[in-house]
Structure formats: C-alpha cells, structure tokens
Amino acid sequence: MADTLNWNSPWPAPAKINLFLHVLGRRPDGYHLLQTVFLFLDQADLLHFFSRQDSRIELATPLPGVPAEQDLTVRAARALAAATGCRQGATIAVDKRLPMGGGLGGGSSDAATTLLALNHLWGCGLSRARLEEIGLTLGADVPIFIHGHSAFAEGVGEQFTDVMPPESHYLVLVPPVAVPTANIFRDPALRRDTPAIAPAAWHNGFGGNDLEVVACRLYPEVARHLDWLRQWGTARMSGSGACCFASFDTAAAAQEALAALPEDMKGFVTRGMRLHPLANLTV
C-alpha cells in the first residue's frame, strides 16, 4: 500500500513514545549516550508533496515562530537534494496534528517522512541506511522513523536492535507547555550514569525515564499530568516531555480514562504500532 503513495498523496508521519529512556553518559562533544525503546503510535501528522517545475523547496504551511529555513521538513528536503545532486523541487504542506515540544517526535517524524517520500518521488534510490545517516544530521530521533521498526536504541539513539513490544492502547496527555529538549539535557541535575543493559535483557515495563525528574521540576504541569495519570497504572513521560502516557489493554479502557480527564487537561487515545506505516515503502 505504501508504494501506491504519489505526489499529492497524504504521507503519514507518526508519533513515537519512549517505553523507557536512560542516560548512560555524555560524550566529549556534548551529546548524551542513551538507551531507549521506541514504539510508534497511530496518531500522525500528514504531509503532502507537490511537484514543481523549478528546483525550489517551498513550505506551504509555515509553523508560527519557525522560519521556513529552520523547518525540519525544508532542511530534510535540502539535505536530500545536496546528498544526491537532485535538482528537482517540491512544495511541502504539513497537516500538523502532533504537539510541538511534546516528546512525541513530531518534527523528527516529519523530517523522516520528507526524506522517505522525496527519495521515492524524486527517484533518488538511496538506501534506508543512507537516509538514516542524513537524518541523523537533522536530529537524533530522525533515524528511527526511517528505520521503520520498533527498536531498542543505543548510542545517541541511532543504533537499533529490533524488538517486539505489545501493541497496547495508550492514553497520551498533552500538558499545556512546550519543553525544549536542550533545557532538559543541559540541566546539571540530570542523571547521566544509569547502567547499560543488553538489548536482549529489555522487557516491557522495564526502567523509567531519566529526564522525567528534571522536566517535572522545571515544568510543574508535566508533574501534575503524570500524577493524575498514575491513578490508572504506570505512567511515563515520553522523550524530554511534555507528553505523558499510560498503557491499557483495550481501547475501551483507555477511552474510559480519557472521559474522566479533568476539564483543564487534554489528551487522546491511540494504539501502539511496531511498524511505521511507510516501513514497506520501496526506497
């Protein structure tokens, strides 16, 4: 089905959650060494790509406060063109459905879908491994969306071992704050010495999120949403925040929790997916 996508089609850019996220250390260049498990969600941004007669890359839907030159979709398209020498152009439109600064990987997912889509539409023929290398120059979370399978990730988040977490239903809460990732990682109180585990030792429910303590201190709304969610079971923050999630065995149970949400909180019910919707796209 993915190969039937073409110019003007809606191309999905799904969210992700981190089922756990540990910080093992920090490299001399300042990047942090991590271990995490990524799981995709069926909640997604939708991207549209329109062919052009020139070689320009244009964004039809700029985000408030984000110059087009800094938008990850534009940067991804230009990085692909530079890597391949492609002189085709594209106009990109993003139907933005994922929160910004939420830890769900929305911008990274948009960049990955841009690389996958334009590699396909422009006929560049780059492998997924090469697209992952380009994606890593744009952000540490971009490669997992190109990789396309739920994975135990190491390094700065770009070394993958495929895993098979349960495709549970989730209630995801969206606190009314945007959490800049850099604010969390540069905080001196962040734990950076969690012991590593082997990928084979991971099991569902393992670990926690080392970034959570810092995010909750800096952004009390994150702590409030986590506290409310924990009445339903184990709750965790995704990525560097602000979004929080809890798993449920059925969609009905997740919807029941959503219905009990206080009026001043927002959230949505979604399903976990081991495979990215573009996992079978021919590159």
109 is in an annotated binding site: yes
Q: Is 106 annotated as a binding residue?
A: yes
Give the Cα separation of 120 and 198 in Å (integer): 35
Q: Is 29 a catalytic residue?
A: no
Flag whether 101 is marked binding: yes
Q: Which listed residue (45, 71, 110, 141) is catalytic?
A: 141
Confirm whether residue 105 is marked as ligand binding.
yes
Peptide bond between residue 254 and the one before it cis (omega within 30 degrees of 0): no
The one catalytic residue among 16, 45, 110, 210? 16
Residue 280 CA to residue 63 CA, distance in Å, equals 30
For residue 190, what are the contacts with CB-CB under 8 A and spacing of at least 6?
23, 184, 210, 211, 214
Nearest Cα neighbor of 213 from 31, 23, 15 is 23
The residue behind tokens 């942090």 is 32
Q: Compute the distance between CA of residue 254 and CA of residue 268 in angstroms, rounded to an integer.
A: 9
List of E strands, the chain: 11-26, 32-51, 57-59, 90-95, 151-154, 159-162, 169-173, 235-237, 244-248, 267-273
> Is 266 assigned a catalytic role?
no
d(CA 76, CA 118): 9
Residue 247 assigned to a binding site: no
Q: 123 a known binding residue? A: no
Residues making up the binding site for ATP: 99-109
Q: Which residues are annotated as a binding site?
A: 99-109
Provide the annotated active-site residues. Answer: 16, 141
